[in-house]
């Protein structure tokens, strides 16, 4: 007989085994002539969806959110660690959306900031793409505290990035003359 935690782990793995990263997370809800605001966003290249114009439609995100909601309180504390321990390049987007759907940005911060060596470069890119997607489609769900936390995470992430490669130097640090 499996333990409740083992059963929860098995269910999470089953849901994540079905992930197709090419499937869209959101579906537009046509409640009027347009789904997007008519006023320009602060950065015109990013159209922010207005509240109620989109809904989460990705089956695995919905299933993970439902599994969390139906879990007993004792297992909810284990749920996030079990879910975040499964993160990889294939499912990172889905996991990030699920974690943000259930309102646990702080737990995502722990994985992104406190475990930078655990997550590979491409997984980290997928995490940030998912965060941007969530901000674009459901910006109304983020509080000012959430945005401050995301900014802290972004600054920590960019500080880890290597700078541009050093320019070739000549003798004694003098730049080499370019040949024409």
| pLDDT, tens digit (0-9, with 9 covering 90-100), for 139-170 | 998 999 999 999 988 888 888 776 655 555 55
Residue 48: what pLDDT? Answer: 77
Is-contact 70 114, C-beta < 8 A? no
The answer as to whether 170 is a domain residue is no
Do the domain assignments include residue 165?
no
Say if CB 84 and CB 99 are below 8 A apart.
yes
Looking at residue 148, what is its pLDDT? 92
pLDDT at 14 over 90: yes
As a whole number, mean pLDDT of residues 27-47 equals: 57
- Tell whether the model's pLDDT for residue 120 goes beyond 90: no
Q: CA 49, CA 140: separation in Å to the nearest integer? A: 9
Residue 177 lies in a domain: no
What is the distance of C-alpha 135 from the center of its chain?
10
166 within domain boundaries: no
Is residue 96 very low, low, confident or very high in pLDDT (cuts 50, 70, 90)? very high
Cβ contacts of 144-153, under 8 Å, gap ≥ 24: 146/105, 149/105, 149/106, 149/109, 150/105, 152/109, 152/113, 153/109, 153/112, 153/113
Q: Domain count of the chain? A: 1
- Pinpoint the alpha helices (H) of the chain: 4-17, 59-70, 73-84, 92-101, 105-114, 121-137, 144-160
Does the pLDDT of residue 86 top 80, yes or no?
Answer: yes
Q: Is residue 93 part of a domain?
A: yes
| Mean pLDDT, rounded, for 88-116 | 86
3-state secondary structure of 10: helix
How much of the chain, in percent, has pLDDT values that exceed 90? Answer: 43
pTM score, two decimals? Answer: 0.78
Domain that holds residue 144: 4-160
180 falls within a domain: no
Has residue 171 been placed in a domain?
no
What is the average pLDDT across 80-103? 93
Tell me the pLDDT band of 36, cut-offs 50, 70 and 90: very low
- Which tens digit of pLDDT belongs to each residue from 65-82? 999 999 999 999 889 989
Bigger pLDDT: 71 or 112? 71
């Amino acid at each position: 007989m499996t333990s409740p935690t083992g059963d929860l782990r098995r269910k999470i793995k089953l849901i994540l085994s079905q992930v197709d990263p090419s499937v869209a997370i959101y579906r537009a809800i046509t409640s009027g002539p347009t789904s997007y605001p008519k006023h320009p966003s602060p950065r015109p290249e990013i159209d922010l969806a207005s509240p109620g114009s989109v809904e989460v439609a990705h089956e695995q995100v919905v299933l993970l959110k439902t599994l969390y909601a139906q879990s007993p309180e004792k297992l909810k504390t284990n749920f996030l660690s079990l879910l975040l321990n499964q993160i990889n390049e294939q499912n990172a987007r889905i996991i990030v959306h699920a974690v943000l759907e259930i309102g646990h940005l702080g737990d995502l911060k722990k994985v992104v900031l406190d475990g930078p060596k655990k997550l590979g470069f491409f997984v980290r890119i997928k995490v940030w793409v998912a965060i941007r997607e969530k901000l674009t489609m459901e910006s109304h769900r983020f509080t000012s505290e959430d945005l401050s936390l995301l900014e802290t995470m972004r600054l920590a992430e960019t500080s880890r990035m290597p700078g541009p490669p050093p320019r070739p130097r000549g003798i004694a640090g003098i730049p080499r003359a370019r040949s024409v």
